[in-house]
Amino acid sequence: MRVDLVCEGVETAKEKAKQLVDGHDVELWDGDRKVATFARKD
């Protein structure tokens, strides 16, 4: 599944992406640049 986020900056995007972690890992990308990976919650 892909979810597009529109955020003011990287830190805001990281906080929003962390909220999406639920049973699956979440990768945060800025165009073609991988910014962060958040591991799923067990």
For the residues 16-35, what does the mean pLDDT come to?
95
Model confidence, pTM? 0.83
The separation between CA 38 and the C-alpha centre of its own chain, rounded to angstroms, equals 7
Q: Is the pLDDT of residue 41 over 90?
A: no
How much is the pLDDT for 1? 87
Between the two ends of the chain, the Cα-to-Cα distance in Å is 19
Kind and range of the H or E run holding 12: helix 10-18
